Structures are given as C-alpha cells and as structure tokens.
Chain A
Amino acid sequence: MSKVEFSPDTLALAQRIIKRYPEGRQKSALLPLLHVAQAEFDGWLSPETMDYVASLLNIKPIEVYEVASFYTMYNLKPVGKCLIEVCQTGPCWLRGADDIVEHFEKKLGIKVGETTADGMFTLKTVECLGSCGTAPMLQCGADYYENLTTEKVDTLIEKLRASDNRSTYMKSNMQEL
C-alpha cells in the first residue's frame, strides 16, 4: 500500500482550513479534514488515513478515532463507489421510504448494509436528512435526490452506473432524474 498523503492541492486546502481557527486550536479542523480525507481516499477512513490526519493537526491518533467513530458520515470500512443512503425516519416513512428501500434491494440484489459484488453500490438506511418536505429521499455523496419514486430510482441506478465519478464532499456528481 502506498503511503497515505494528500496531493499538493489538497494539502494546501487543508492548510487553509487549519488557518480558520485561532492559534493552538487547530484541532477544530478535524471534522472538515476528515471529510476531505474521505473524499481523497476512496470514500472511507483507514487507520493509516486517520493517523495521517492526526499528524497534520499534531494531535494523538486516538483523538481522531474517537471523533471519526462518533459521527455517522465517516466510513471506517470501505464502501461502494456510490453510497446510497435512504432516509427512513417518520416523515420519509409516511411517504413511502420503505418501498424505496425495498426497490433498491430488489434492483441491486443486496440487503441494507451490503455492497454489490462489483463494488459499485453500498445500500444504507439513515436517519433524518432534513428533506422531509420532499420525501422520500436519499443521499449519494454530496447529492440529495428527492421526491423519489421507484421509476426515479431505476433512472438513478442507470445514470450512476454509467458515470465515472464518485460524489464526495469535494465534488458533486448530481444526476438529472
């Protein structure tokens, strides 16, 4: 495995982020840097990646593990290229989120929590994403897909399959449905 290190551009961005906080408070940059790191390194945070972020911020590795494992957006295990996160809380459930999840499972041939064999899709259910007025909805990387129907899900799966990009914190890959 190659050494974990940001590209020069990303490193410059990281330095800019660190400057947002007062002297000695560089730990504040931890959450944004973890997002950046996850975007840079295949959508998940390996222990090596987290150790690297700890070294950038001059903090102990355990401080990074504690934080990364607390927040749901950080993936501590590899995920598919498209991480499909379907909201299932009350307002989305009222408008048919269960049917959307079921449709995904059927279409992709996987259960919630699993990744397709080709490594393309990981299916997850998540709690409220603040999109209740446009329910049911899902998040894929940086992108929200709203007012979902089973037809729209079919279109989305096709478009995502055809696309080369991974939608991340750094780069949207929004598909017109």
Chain B
Amino acid sequence: MAKVTIDGIEVEVADGTTILNAARQIGGEVVPPAMCYYSSLKDTGGKCRVCLVKVTQGSAKDPRPMPKLVASCRTPVMDGMVVQNITSPEVLEARKGVVEFLLLNHPLDCPVCDQAGECDLQNLSYEHGVGKTRYEEDRRTFEKIDIGDKIKLHMTRCILCYRCTFVADQLTQERVHGVLNRGDASEISTYIEKAVDNDFSGNMIDVCPVGALTDKTFRFKSRVWFTKPLDAHRDCDKCCGKVVLWTKGDDVLRVSARKDQYNEVKEYICNECRYDHKDMKDWTIEGPRHIDRHSVISQNHYEKIDMQKLKLDIDRQLTFQKGKQLPETTNP
C-alpha cells in the first residue's frame, strides 16, 4: 500500500495505482479530467495531457519534486508522494493551454452534433476553457465518412485519443481501422474503404469522448437531453446484456453500454444488443438511469432526486471549498 496526498487530501491505495485512480478514490474536485485514458482499455492514456498534475514530492524515500508536470493517468503513485492538481496554478494554466489546443481545430459544431450533452470535450471546455479562440487560421477539416453501416466518422471532431483503436485491438478479432498519417494530419481511417464489421465494433461509439464516432441509427433523432434513459437488460449469449435504453415515449431511440461517473464503460455490449433490439418488449426494464445532477440530461427531471445523497454531496463540496480557502481565512 502507498500513502499519497492529493491537493491536501491523504489516501491510501494499492501499489502501482496511478495518480489519477488514487484521485478517483478520493473523488470530487481533485479528480483530474481524462480525455484519452480509459480504465478498461490497456495502454490507453498519456496522450491528451489534460490530466497533467504537479508532483511536489516524489516519495517519502526520495522527496525531490518531479521536474515537469506528469500525466496522472500513467504515473504510478509512490509511498509518501505529494501531488497538486487544482491547488496548483501551474497545473490549471497548463490545462487551460491543453484545452485550447484540443479546441484549436475542433469545429465547435455542438448545435448539430449528436454528442452534445454527453460530450467530454464540452464538459472540459466548460470547466477549463476560455470563451474566445486566439486561432485565426482556417480549421483543419476532413470529409465525413461511414465506417460500416452503423457508424459515422466525423474526423474533424476527433481529438486523437486512440481509444477506438484500442477497442478494435482488444475487443475484436481483426482491427481494420487505425491512425494514419502523422502530426496534425493524423486521422482515424481504414485507408482503403473497408467496413468495420464485427460483433463489438459499436463500442467504439461509446468510448469516443467526442462526436467523432456516432451511432448512425440515432443520428439526428433527438437531442440526448430530450430522451429518457432507462437501465435495462436482456439475456444475451454474446455480452452481458446490460444496457441503457435512450427512450422517448415508447420508442427506443438508442441503446448504449452503461457508463460510470467518469463516463467510462465497464461492461461492453455486443452489436446485436445495440442495434437489433430497439423495442421495449425485448428488454427487462430496471428503472431510470441515474445521471449526475450537473448533467444537462438530468434537467429532464425524469429521476426522483435522492435528497439525502444530494445533501451529502453538497456538504462534501462545502468542506472541500473551505479547506481550499484556508490560507486566506485563517488569520483575520
């Protein structure tokens, strides 16, 4: 076990845990954002740089600080490590820079993007972005293409997290798409027109942090916040069969895997569950899907708010905010 302090909060975690996952064990504001890291996909992370943090003490044994900001998603903790995330102005400045870089060539077409409302880049920009771009040049654009009959690729929106290539490598038999070219000309592609066609390809849509890979069967059907998400399951011989049905009235508009509070899928679903059962009768409905109260989706008030849980949440925030302001308020 290793003791690590993140933004003044101590936590004890298993050896080999990354800083990001240690922070997730603490929860709340100290958790760095992550755009490319994905817990259930091996070797992801390190690329987007939004999770950079400052290590002010390497370990109890070697207390020297690390010379540069480190990617918290790929840096393992050491016993006695001290980390600054939101308490470091340097980290916040760097993160602001990374968000600006990610948005530099992003089309900002949220009003017509199916991902809007559940987009990690949108959330990230809301938290760390600035209102105005300093980029005056033409944005990079790509043609929209179909990769397979169920997935639309909007390369222009892609932030090159590589998650979809890891899905193809780790969940499917044969990867036919990948990252081609290099530098800012890099793109996700099959090179020669080839359909991504296998039982688990649909998971690429779920792991995509932006609207680069979207479900063609849901395309332009509804804004996600006008739908009512329901937890549901069915017996499936290919996957766990546990899904979220995105419904409007009695219609199932979309089926997706279930995501955790960090927007990550833990149990992947097969394409049959995703595409071939858009009928409420095919599913056992468990009840409304819990969506974080900050999300625009929960503005739909389809879920009864657990007042006790909400109070706990608010109390913890207040305690945390008070702790953060401690230096200014201690000496009246």
- The reply to whether B178 and A65 contact each other, CB–CB distance below 8 Å, is yes
From B12-20, B65-73, B169-177, B206-214, give the one contacting chain A: B169-177
> What's the least CB distance linking B177 to chain A, in Å?
7
Chain B: minimal CB distance from A51 (Å): 9
**B174-194 contact mask (Cβ, 8 Å, vs A): 1 or 0:** 111111111000000011100
**B177 near A62 (CB under 8 angstroms)?**
yes
Binary per-residue interface labels of chain A (40-80) against chain B in the complex, 1 for a CB within 8 Å, 0 otherwise: 00000001000000000000111101100110000000000
Task: List the A side residues contacting B181 at CB < 8 Å.
Answer: 69-70
**Cβ contact within 8 Å between B191 and A70:** no
Q: Nearest-CB distance from B162 to chain A (Å)?
A: 11
Taking CB atoms, residues of chain B closer than 8 Å to A65 are 178, 180, 191-192
Check if A62 sits within 8 Å of B182, measured CB to CB. Answer: no
* A residues near B176, Cβ cutoff 8 Å: 60-62
Q: Find out whether the CB atom of B174 lies under 8 angstroms from the CB atom of A60.
A: yes
In the docked arrangement, what's the CA distance between A69 and B182, Å?
7
CB proximity of B145 to chain A, nearest CB, Å = 15
**If the complex has contacts A60-B174, A60-B175, A62-B177, are A70 and B190 also in contact, measured as CB distance less than 8 A?**
no
| Complex: A65 Cα to B192 Cα, angstroms | 9
Which chain A residues border B192 with CB–CB below 8 Å? 47, 65
Number of A-B contacts (CB under 8 A): 28
Alpha-carbon separation in the docked complex, A150 to B109 (Å): 50
What separation, in Å, do the CA atoms of A69 and B190 have in the docked complex? 12
**In contact, A69 and B175 (Cβ under 8 angstroms):** no
Interchain nearest-CB distance for A155 vs B (Å):
35
Interface members, chain B 127-180 (any A CB < 8 Å): 174-180
B175 and A47 form a contact (CB under 8 A): no
Least Cβ–Cβ distance between B165 and chain A, in angstroms:
9
Q: Which of B46-92 contact A (CB under 8 A)?
A: none
Question: How many angstroms from the CA of A76 to the CA of B181 in the assembled complex?
Answer: 11
In the bound complex, residues from chain A placing their C-beta under 8 Å from that of B175 are 60, 62
The distance in angstroms between the C-alpha atoms of A3 and B192, with both chains bound, is 18
Query: In the bound complex, what is the Cα–Cα distance between A120 and B177 (angstroms)?
Result: 35
Apart from A62-B176, A65-B191, list 11 A-B contacts with CB within 8 A: A47-B192, A60-B175, A62-B175, A62-B178, A63-B178, A65-B180, A66-B178, A69-B180, A69-B181, A69-B182, A70-B180
Residues of B that sit less than 8 Å from A by CB: 174-182, 190-192
The 4 closest A-B pairs by CB, nearest first: A65-B191, A69-B180, A66-B178, A62-B178
In the assembled complex, 9 residue pairs joining A and B whose CB atoms fall closer than 8 Å, in A order, are: A61-B191, A62-B175, A65-B191, A65-B192, A66-B178, A66-B180, A69-B181, A69-B191, A70-B181
